[in-house]
Chains A and B, each alone.
Chain A
Amino acid sequence: MSVGTATRDAVAAVRARLAEDDALLLLAVALGIYALFVLVSVVLGLGLNGTANTLERITFLSAVYAMVVLALNLQWGYAGLFNIGVAGFMAVGVYTMAILTGSPTGSPPGLGLPLPVGLVGGMLVAALVGMLAALPALRLRADYLAIVTVALSEIIRLTLLSTTFATFTVAGVTLGTGGGQGIELPTNPVRALFYVDPGNPSSGATGFGSVVFDIFGRIYVPFMAGRGIQPAVVLNWAYAVVLVLFVAGFYWFLTRVGNSPFGRVLKAIREDELVANALGKDTNRFKVKTFAVGCALMGLAGILWQGSQGFVTPGSFVPLVTFFVFIALVVGGPGSNTGSVIGGAVFASLLFEGPNFVRRIVEQLANNGLRIGGLTVGGGGLGATPNNFVDAVAPLFSLHVAPLVAYSLENISSLRLVFLGVVLVYLLQRRPEGLLGHRKEVAAAVDLSRREDGGEAG
């Protein structure tokens, strides 16, 4: 009994501590997810390099989602602006950057400007397009903004896809989006840290690169197969770390925006715009600003997302991406910046990547069996995978479950969408406030609670 009470007290104390300290909470979530995926990697027998690769992919995706969700949280979570054109604004950022920095002799040709110009340009154009979308919708009810943005997002994607704009000439300068072929992206500068010629690994590593590759090449972890982490994985990790730093930057920026009189007005607009207006706040100005800043951040997040790759096609910016971002925000809890980061990480690792790992684990267990002591349970595989749903379900009547399981696993990426839909419906019905519960991230630059003691806050 007393041990039980003590554990319960300890758990309660930890929970209270986590509820207070956002940094600790974020760290705990990150460690929890890493621990889970290390376990998964061990079950799958991925070895050291494979495990490092898995964790890198989780980190990369979590960071990308965290950034976009943070940007959407500013618009929807704080100001209640229903933007369902997230993918489109990301596309604008990425393509603007690609066109600005692309080589003038490339296919399609670009303007050949330096990368920082591309980054800033991508953000500015995304902000501008966001403002253009917001301005007419501001006069109308909130739902219209949703319709305008989702339509705009598709117009952007289809425009990028069209052959008309694959290459075009403006004022004697030939540019292009590359149409369905996609467009080349500048080499990600993180590679330049490691390779003499960032575009070509066979050119040899830089001094820094060879030292780092050497260190990671020697790593040995007990109970894990294989020795050392390959340069390609190290390189991806370096990029993922850069993204995590960007997440920290986004978080810092948006927390300051939220915890200020500006954030207070945004919340008021979300709750009741007429009240904010009747108290002397020019709500339209706040809305346009918020929309522009949020879209600029989405543009930047898009650039960082695609930046690790050599090229990008319009297919990366389908509306589904927007809905993924919304699910992640609902998971984390709209209106909370800390929740946004956690929502991004939980969505990317568990909901988005999780199903694939479930498939791999089930297949692994089905084929090799589960070894408990000297006993092997199961094994022998699931048999042939049925070709269609009827073939998968029919054997159920003769109590054969394996065909359905095999069929489900084969189609898990489609089933994932069903699964995500169920998660969304469940959350909206049972926990609309998100995983973190109802959080009071009070919109003020100082701690409002204390007054008698002078209130040392900042």
Chain B
Amino acid sequence: MSEAGGDAPSAAGTGPETADSAVERAAKHTPEAIPLRVTGLEKHFGGIAAVDGVSFEVEAGTLTGLIGPNGAGKSTTFDLITGVQTPDAGTVHFRGQDVTGLRPYQIADRGLVRTFQIARELSEMTVLENVMLAPKHQVGESLWRSVTPGAREEVVAQERELRERAWETLDFFALDHLAEEYAGNLSGGQRKLLEMARVLMTDPDTVLLDEPLAGVNPTLGNQLVERIHELRAQGLTFLLVEHDIDVVMNHCDPIVVMHQGRVLAEGPPEAIRADERVVDAYLGETL
């Protein structure tokens, strides 16, 4: 993949200085500490630059927020990171490896998975089937193992284990009472939860959440955010796109602000709240 955009200047990092010493900074910048690093990403649609030289890093164990007004290029950035679309320029590094331009399944296979802005439930499959689909490298995904009498025992054994995990995950997201329902019959909020459940079943390292709270009622939304914090405590890293500014300000650290395809600001919530450019971008909305 082209490295053309690799040295594009980043508009980020101009926020207030953090107190970290140089040594601490260096330690944090090992590939393990920075699971996801995006450098100079660009994507043009016709004459419009949807993403125009975006660079940022997501550090291990953080719940990093990605905000910006409508059309700022957040979802396109997600698509570029996860291989749904191929960037025109720039690179995506995941855990030290260049994953730019890989197919979505190859990126997911490495532990970087995403949810979608509009929930993409598999509607003619049950909730359980949806969740059971997700675990990676299932023995029974091999055609001959599924059919051959001896080898099928192994498949059945793994299915039993996965069933346990599937039910635990559904309990975790309070979807257990809907387990045998078709996913298409779920409400918008429940579909969002199902997407989260499905993504977690892949044993991810880093999860990109595209507006996970849209359409979810506030009570459920709070529970969901709590769940995210629990998972973060277990070592997962999150990058969250969310329209609800309060949620982002209260729960995300650091926050990356995008505007017109570029990174406008990057830093802890207090700094973002105080940043005039961000306030301008949101047309004076109180942050």
A257 nearest CB across to chain B (Å): 6
Partner of A451, one of B104, B133, B139, B167: B167
Inter-chain contact B163/A455, CB cutoff 8 Å? yes
Nearest-neighbor residue (CB-CB) of A270 within chain B: B124
- In the bound complex, residues from chain B placing their C-beta under 8 Å from that of A289 are 143
Interface centre among B132, B140, B142, by most chain A C-beta atoms within 10 angstroms, is B140
Number of interface residues of B (CB under 8 A): 45
In the assembled complex, B117 has its CB within 8 A of some CB on chain A? no
Nearest-neighbor residue (CB-CB) of A452 within chain B: B167
In the assembled complex, B10 has its CB within 8 A of some CB on chain A? no
Docked Cα-Cα span, A449 to B159, in Å, equals 12
Is the contact region of chain A dominated by helix, strand, or loop, or is it mixed? helix
Inter-chain contact B202/A279, CB cutoff 8 Å? yes
Docked Cα-Cα span, A443 to B182, in Å, equals 13
Docked Cα-Cα span, A253 to B104, in Å, equals 31
In the assembled complex, B248 has its CB within 8 A of some CB on chain A? no
Inter-chain contact A445/B133, CB cutoff 8 Å? no
Partner of B122, one of A253, A263, A272, A293: A272
Is the contact region of chain B dominated by helix, strand, or loop, or is it mixed? helix
Nearest-neighbor residue (CB-CB) of A276 within chain B: B133
* Of A10-18, A280-288, A347-355, A399-407, the one touching chain B: A280-288
Known contacts: A262-B142, A262-B143, A446-B160. The answer to whether A279 contacts B133 by CB under 8 A is: yes
In the assembled complex, A71 has its CB within 8 A of some CB on chain B? no
* Of B64-72, B105-113, B260-268, the one touching chain A: B105-113
In the assembled complex, B180 has its CB within 8 A of some CB on chain A? yes
Docked Cα-Cα span, A277 to B114, in Å, equals 11
In the assembled complex, A45 has its CB within 8 A of some CB on chain B? no
Inter-chain contact A446/B156, CB cutoff 8 Å? yes
B158 nearest CB across to chain A (Å): 8
Nearest-neighbor residue (CB-CB) of A262 within chain B: B146
Docked Cα-Cα span, A267 to B124, in Å, equals 8
Inter-chain contact B122/A275, CB cutoff 8 Å? yes
Q: Mark B109-130, 1 if CB is under 8 A from A, else 0.
A: 1000110100010111110110
Inter-chain contact A261/B155, CB cutoff 8 Å? yes
Interface centre among A267, A275, A279, by most chain B C-beta atoms within 10 angstroms, is A279
In the assembled complex, A440 has its CB within 8 A of some CB on chain B? yes
Inter-chain contact B125/A271, CB cutoff 8 Å? yes
Inter-chain contact A442/B136, CB cutoff 8 Å? no
Q: Mark A424-453, 1 if CB is under 8 A from B, else 0.
A: 000000000000000010111110110100
Nearest first, the 5 closest Cβ-Cβ pairs linking A and B are: A260-B146, A261-B140, A280-B108, A271-B122, A261-B138
Query: What 18 additional pairs, Cβ within 8 angstroms, besides A260-B155, A445-B155, A458-B156?
Result: A256-B146, A261-B138, A261-B155, A272-B122, A275-B120, A275-B122, A276-B105, A278-B108, A278-B113, A279-B108, A279-B199, A280-B202, A281-B105, A281-B141, A444-B159, A448-B126, A449-B128, A451-B164
Q: Which residues of A contact B (CB under 8 A)?
A: 253, 256-257, 260-265, 267-268, 270-272, 274-283, 286, 289, 293, 335, 440, 442-446, 448-449, 451, 455, 458
